Amino acid sequence: MKLYRPTEECGIFGIYGHPEAANLTYLGLYALQHRGQEACGIVSSDGRSLHVHRSMGLVADVFGDQGIFRNLPGEAAIGHVRYSTTGDSVTKNVQPIKVDYSRGSIAVAHNGNLVNAQMVKDELEAWGSIFQTTMDTEVILHLLATSKQNALEDRIAEALGRLKGAYCLLFLTETRMVAARDPQGFRPLCLGKLGDGWVVASESCALDLIEAEFVREIEPGEVVVITKDGITSHFPLKKDEAAPCIFEFVYFARPDSYIFGKNVYMVRKDFGRQLAREHQVDADIVIPVPDSGVPAALGYAQEAGLPFELGLIRNHYIGRTFIEPQQSIRHFGVKIKLNPVREILEGKRVVVIDDSIVRGTTSRKIVKMVRNAGAKEVHVRISSPPTSYPCYYGIDTPTRKELISSSHTIEEIRRYITADSLGYLSEEGLLQAVGAGKNPYCKACFSGNYPITFPTLAAAPQLDLF
């Protein structure tokens, strides 16, 4: 049995009420490109019908031709960027999905992952539905089409009531745009305004680019309906305890974004400060693993009173293919991306800051690289707790077997990556830095405590199939 490939690591954007809706959606996706580099798409509405352009590739490549926008007319549009989690990169899995149903046409863009998708799919198939993609998102449209409700928002509410998992959704019909966020608010979603038009985006950096005004975040469990008569807010779903994904702060979101009530850069700096308090070390300089480790490294350096330096230089021209020499025993993996600056590192006791360790292989190469460049000591500090459990709510993590910290002690990891010392930010430190009250974040990847349990044992094999 083929299981769903989770719709992981995506970004969504929508705009309603602007004469250049599709072009601005393209810009919004541009700003959200870090949330998904594999594929992208836009659906626009001209008030009478929906228009689609979707393809594998980066936003700048897929939409790099002015002519495309002539085929995406109208004053409303939604868009989607998707990350490649597996080799199964079939074009038909590109979003937004657009379908015809009894009330006309509707398109949807989804960021997140439904945990009961297979179960709902089984029910729908038993009833007679056919599925043309392997995306859990398709389930949502089937539920919406088979709803007995009349009003669009009631159909959406009924469909969402059947779903379990993480979702930020953008729907577009001929005349309406609807945004929805799951009751626990795993993924970020914000609302903005541009002239008379409304904008919805995964992160505020997309509003910034098009110079839209940030209005507020869409709340967990909220459904926002936008028509030409304005905007209405609904809370049709059962309330639940909020569980925003703390990994958005650690790694995924852009530092200039404002999500879950905070600026990402500032939170990362505070992670670094807290890390410095928890894992002090006698050292000469602090360097980040660029680019994700930079804010935490600045925080660490400031707190520890050590100089911050860019000891590893990143090559910005990495292509999507990389042809390695065939006969060489060398493996270029990390070297092609990073190069150490000997003059900074030579003879120094170096603190290297990274946001996480997954398999440990990259960290090991970086430690060796820094040491070969002359560092006397290499102390690795990680601005998050050990990642021991896979995510089922929209972050692409490997299986437990591949997560080094799920099977090794910190000392074992330190020895593997050949660091002189290794320190992870504690879970308490993390929460304290983010200013959390007692339990408002999903930190299942650290703790294994999943806020949403899987509906049946039958779904268990899925856990290992990501």
Which 302-361 positions form the footprint of a second copy (CB under 8 A)?
302, 307-310, 313, 315-328, 330, 332, 335-336, 339-344
Q: How far apart are CB 38 and a second copy at their closest, in Å?
A: 12
In the window 413-432, what residues touch a second copy (CB under 8 A)?
none
Query: What residues between 269 and 298 interact with a second copy by CB under 8 A?
Result: 291, 294-295, 298
Q: Report d(CA 336, CA 312) in Å as an integer.
A: 12
Question: Applying CB under 8 A, which of residues 9, 10, 13, 26 lies at the interface with a second copy?
Answer: 26
Q: Is 40 annotated as a binding residue?
A: no
* 460 binds a second copy, rule: CB under 8 A: no
Selected from 125, 213, 241, 428, the binder of a second copy by CB under 8 A is 125
Answer for the pair 376, 395: CB distance below 8 angstroms, yes or no. no
Helix (H, G, I), strand (E, B), or coil: what is residue 133? coil
Catalytic residue among 10, 40, 190, 205: 10
Q: Which of residues 250-269 bind a second copy (CB under 8 A)?
A: 254-256, 258, 263, 265-266
Rama region for 221: left / alpha / beta (φ>0; ψ in -120 to 50; rest):
left
Comparison of 108 and 391: residue with beta carbon closer to a second copy: 108
CB of 451 to a second copy, least distance (A): 28
Q: What burial class does residue 25 get, using C-beta atoms within 10 Å of its C-beta: 0-12 exposed, 13-18 middle, 19+ buried?
A: buried
The minimum distance between CB 79 and a second copy, in angstroms, equals 14
Coil vs helix vs strand at 425:
coil
N-to-C CA span, the chain: 14
35 near a second copy (CB under 8 A): no
190 is catalytic: no
* Residue 126 in contact with a second copy, rule: CB under 8 A: yes
Please give the C-alpha separations between residue 185 and each of 180, 294, 335, in angstroms, as whole numbers: 10, 27, 38
Instruction: List the one residue from 3, 52, 410, 463 that touches a second copy (CB under 8 A).
Output: 52
362 belongs to the binding site for a second copy (CB under 8 A): no
Q: Which of 236, 239, 241, 240 is nearest to 158 (CA)?
A: 236
Buried b (16+ CB within 10 A) or exposed e, 243-276: bbbbbbbbbbbbbebbbbeebbbebbbbbbbbbb
The helix or strand, by DSSP H or E, that contains position 204, with its residue range, turns out to be helix 204-209
What letter would DSSP give residue 450?
Answer: -
In angstroms, give the least distance from the CB of 90 to a second copy: 7
248 binds a second copy (CB under 8 A): no
- Using CB under 8 A as the binding criterion, the count of chain residues that bind a second copy stands at 95
Q: Does residue number 131 form part of the binding site for a second copy (CB under 8 A)?
A: yes
Task: Answer for the pair 91, 56: CB distance below 8 angstroms, yes or no.
Answer: yes
**By CB under 8 A, residue 435 contacts a second copy:** no
6 sits near a second copy (criterion: CB under 8 A):
no
What part of residues 56-85 is at the interface with a second copy (CB under 8 A)? 58-61, 63-66, 68-69
Nearer to a second copy, 44 or 388 (CB): 44
Span interacting with a second copy, options 137-145, 161-169, 224-232, 398-406, rule CB under 8 A? 137-145
The span from the CA of 262 to the CA of 39, in Å, is 29
Contact region for a second copy (CB under 8 A) — 5-13, 52-60, 231-239, 411-419? 52-60
Q: Which is nearer to a second copy, 15 or 417 (CB)?
A: 15
User: What are the distances in angstroms from CA 419 to CA 285, 459, 462?
Assistant: 15, 39, 35
Decide whether 131 or 235 has the Cβ nearer to a second copy: 131
Rule CB under 8 A: say whether 150 interacts with a second copy.
no
Instruction: Kindly list the distances between the CA atom of residue 48 and the CA atoms of 173, 311, 421, in Å, as whole numbers in the listed order.
Output: 9, 56, 63
Residue 70 CA to residue 72 CA, distance in Å, equals 5
Binding positions for a second copy, 159-198, rule CB under 8 A: none
Please give the Cα distance from 312 to 310 (Å, whole number). 6
Looking only at the bridges linking them, the beta strands covering 104-114 and 177-181 are: unpaired
- Closest contact distance (angstroms) between CB of 149 and a second copy is 12
User: Is 354 known to sit in a ligand binding site?
Assistant: yes
Complex with a second copy: residue 292 or 388, whichever CB lies closer: 292
Residue located via tokens 């009531």: 161
Distance CA 326, CA 20 (A): 49
Part of the chain binding a second copy (CB under 8 A), chosen from 140-148, 183-191, 387-395, 396-404: 140-148
Active site residues: 10
Binding-site residues for Mg(2+): 292, 354-355
